[in-house]
Amino acid sequence: MGNNVKGFVAQDYVFRHANASTGDFIKFTESKCNGCGECHTVCAANLWAVPKDKKTKLSPKYRELCMECAACYAVCEQDAIDFQYPNGGSGIIIKHG
Percent of the chain at pLDDT exceeding 70: 88
Query: How does pLDDT run across 45-90, given as a tens digit for each residue?
Result: 899 999 887 789 999 989 888 989 999 999 999 999 999 998 887 8
Domain spans in the chain, listed from the N-terminal domain onward: 24-94
Burial profile 15-54: b = 16 or more Cβ within 10 angstroms, e = fewer:
ebeeebebeebbebeeeebebbebbbebbebebbebeeee
End-to-end, the C-alpha distance of the chain in Å comes to 25
What CATH code is assigned to 24-94? 3.30.70.20
pLDDT of residue 20: 78
How far apart, in Å, are the Cα atoms of 9 and each of 4, 12, 18, 56? 8, 6, 19, 23
For the cut 80, the answer to whether the pLDDT of residue 6 exceeds it is: no
For the cut 70, the answer to whether the pLDDT of residue 18 exceeds it is: yes
pLDDT of residue 29: 96
pLDDT of residue 77: 97
